[in-house]
Amino acid sequence: MTALSFADITDDDVRAVRQSHPQAFGDPVMRMVRIASWTIVIGYLLYSFHLFEFAKIFDSSERAWRLVSRIFYWQDMASWHYDQIYVGIAQTVAMAFLGTFLGTIFALGIGFLAAKNTMPFGVIRHAVRRLLDVFRGIDGVVWGLVFVRAVGLGPLAGVLAIWISDVGNLSKLYSEAIENIDRKQVEGVRATGADPARIIRYGYLPQIFPVFLSLSLYSFESSTRSATILGLVGAGGVGMIIIERFRAGMFDQVAFVVLNILIVIAVIDWGSGLIRKRFIGERGH
C-alpha cells in the first residue's frame, strides 16, 4: 500500500477498514453512554432553567441597569460617612483576627484529639470528628444568626461565629497535618535518647509548626471575608453598613465599601505571605 489520499477513500475502503478494525469506529456502547450522559446534563440544565425561571433575567433589564449605573456612578461622595465605613471595616478585621486566634487555640487541642496517631480511642476520635462536622456543616452566617439570638446584636456574636467555624475547619486540617507527620524524623530524635518533651520539641514541632501557622494565616484571610457578611445578620462589622446602605438604594456606597474590603483582604494576603515566607521559607504550603 503506497501513497494514499483522502479523496481516494471510497465507501468500499471504509467497509474494508470497518471489517478489519471495527473498534476504530467507536464502541457503540460507549457512544450510547456518552450521548446519554450529555443528554442528561443538558436535559437537566434545560429543566432547571425552566424550574428556576431563568427567563426572569431578561425581564430585569431595567432594574439591573439602574443598579449597575448606580454602582459605577458615584454621587455626593462628601456625605458618605466614611468614619462609619472605616470603623466597620476595622471591626470586621478585628472580629476575624480574634475569632481566628481563639479558633487556633481551641483547634490546637482538638486537632490532637481528632488525629489517628495521637488519639488511640476511636470512640472519642469519632465523637470529636462528628462534632467538628457540625461546626463546619453550618455556615458562618448561620452561626452568626444563632449567636445574635443567644448574645444579642453586635461584634461579640460575630467573633463567636468565626471562632466556631474556625474551630471546625482548623481542627480538621490540623489533625490531618498531625496524621501526615513523617515518623522517621520522630524516630530519629527518639534514637538520640531524647525524653518525651524533647521528642515533641524536636521531632513533632518542627514538622507541625509551619503547617499550623500557614493554615491559621490562611484562615485569618478567609475569616475576614466571612466576617464581612456576618453584619448582614447583625453580627457586627462592616456588613451591617453594607446591608443598611443597600436597602436604602445607595449602591454606589456599597460598591465603595466592597472595594475597600477587597483592598484590605489583598493587604492581609500580602502580609500573611511575608510572615509565611519568614517562618516557612519560599515553598510555603
Site for another protein in 43-72 (CB under 8 A): 44-45, 48, 51-54, 56-57, 59-60, 63-64, 67
Task: Select 18 or 81, whichever has its Cβ closest to another protein.
Answer: 18
DSSP 209-245: HHHHHHHHHHHHHHHHHHHHHHGGGTSSSHHHHHHHH
| Positions in 116-145 near another protein (CB under 8 A) | 133-134, 137-139, 141-142, 145
Q: Which stretch binds another protein (CB under 8 A): 23-31, 183-191, 199-207, 210-218?
A: 23-31
For 225, the grid coordinates are 471575608
Q: Is 215 in the site for another protein (CB under 8 A)?
A: no
Category of 154 on φ-ψ map: left (φ > 0), alpha (ψ -120 to 50) or beta: left
Figure out which of the listed residues 119, 160, 161, 170 binds another protein, where binding follows CB under 8 A.
160
For 94, the grid coordinates are 478585628
Q: Is 225 in the site for another protein (CB under 8 A)?
A: yes
DSSP 8-class letter at 25: G
| Matching residue, cell 455556615 | 139
Q: Is 267 in the site for another protein (CB under 8 A)?
A: no
Task: Select 111 or 231, whichever has its Cβ closest to another protein.
Answer: 231
Strands (E) located in 63-110: none
Q: Is 154 in the site for another protein (CB under 8 A)?
A: yes
The three-state DSSP-derived secondary structure of 140-192 is: HHHHHHHHHHHHCCCHHHHHHHHHHHHHHHHHHHHHHHHHCCCHHHHHHHHHC
Q: How many CB atoms are closer than 10 A to CB 237?
A: 32
Q: Is 283 in the site for another protein (CB under 8 A)?
A: no
CB of 113 to another protein, least distance (A): 19
- Residues that contact another protein, how many (by CB under 8 A): 75
Q: Which stretch binds another protein (CB under 8 A): 110-118, 155-163, 193-201, 209-217?
A: 155-163
Q: Is 83 in the site for another protein (CB under 8 A)?
A: no
CB of 137 to another protein, least distance (A): 4
- The helix-helix angle for 122-137 and 82-114 (nearest 10°) equals 160
Q: Which stretch binds another protein (CB under 8 A): 78-86, 90-98, 105-113, 191-199?
A: 90-98
